A and B are shown apart, each in its own frame.
Chain A
């Protein structure tokens, strides 16, 4: 299994500002993923973060709004840029493991006022 931590665990931000969320894994992993979970909803994949290459974004998500870094095999960041109240969500990172299992971090709870 993999142990994943995220920082911050929660934040309240003003509209128009940006927030960078960090994801740290206790072991080296190839694939890292970022998801959004809007209030009371399920998870939606934002992008896949590969070390050494640009992130791959899903339909409806763009790099200018959600820039991602993946500087090494244990760390990634997701920035939520120019925030609006509609960005209020839980943002989760996950990593792949042996086979098809994914492990999730505890999430970052973001409220935009």
Chain B
């Protein structure tokens, strides 16, 4: 089973600050997904990265996939209270899309107004 290590586990910052969270593995990812989960809801997919070195942007969120496809980062610019939530990285352990996801432990993010 591919293990995903996320850091930091907890992060509390002020509104307007920037932050980066990380997802690492000792194995190569076939692809990597980032989800955000808000209290009382299921995870919602933010992005899927597939190609080494890939960078994707979603408004103030920037996702990077490492060249070796063993790590990924999520950078949030000018964080807002609405960004508060649990950020999870996940991958398909077999490399295909027809199986369940393996999740990292997540980063609990709190943005204080």
Q: What class of interface size applies to chain A in its complex with B?
A: 20 to 34
CB atoms of A104 and B42 under 8 A apart: yes
Whole-angstrom CA separation of A4 from B33 in the bound complex? 20
Query: Which parts of B19-45 form the interface with A (CB within 8 Å)?
Result: 31, 33, 40-45
- Given A33-B100, A48-B99, A99-B97, A106 and B88 contact (CB-CB distance below 8 Å): no
- Given A92-B42, A101-B48, A102-B45, A48 and B100 contact (CB-CB distance below 8 Å): yes
CB atoms of A42 and B101 under 8 A apart: no
Whole-angstrom CA separation of A102 from B40 in the bound complex? 18
Interface SS majority for chain B: loop
Partner of A41, one of B48, B90, B98, B105: B105
Whole-angstrom CA separation of A82 from B30 in the bound complex? 38
B15 smallest CB distance to A (angstroms): 24
A49 smallest CB distance to B (angstroms): 10
A35 smallest CB distance to B (angstroms): 7
Whole-angstrom CA separation of A33 from B98 in the bound complex? 10
Residues from chain A with Cβ under 8 Å of B102 in the complex: 45
- Does B103 reach chain A (CB closer than 8 Å)? yes
Whole-angstrom CA separation of A111 from B33 in the bound complex? 30
B28 smallest CB distance to A (angstroms): 16
- Does A73 reach chain B (CB closer than 8 Å)? no
Known: A31-B98, A33-B100, A107-B42. 11 other contacts (CB 8 A): A4-B42, A42-B88, A42-B103, A43-B101, A94-B100, A94-B101, A99-B48, A101-B33, A101-B48, A104-B44, A106-B42
Q: What are 22 A-B contacts defined by CB distance under 8 Å?
A: A4-B42, A31-B98, A41-B106, A42-B88, A42-B104, A42-B105, A43-B43, A43-B90, A43-B103, A45-B101, A48-B99, A94-B42, A94-B100, A94-B101, A96-B98, A100-B33, A100-B48, A101-B33, A102-B45, A102-B101, A104-B42, A107-B40
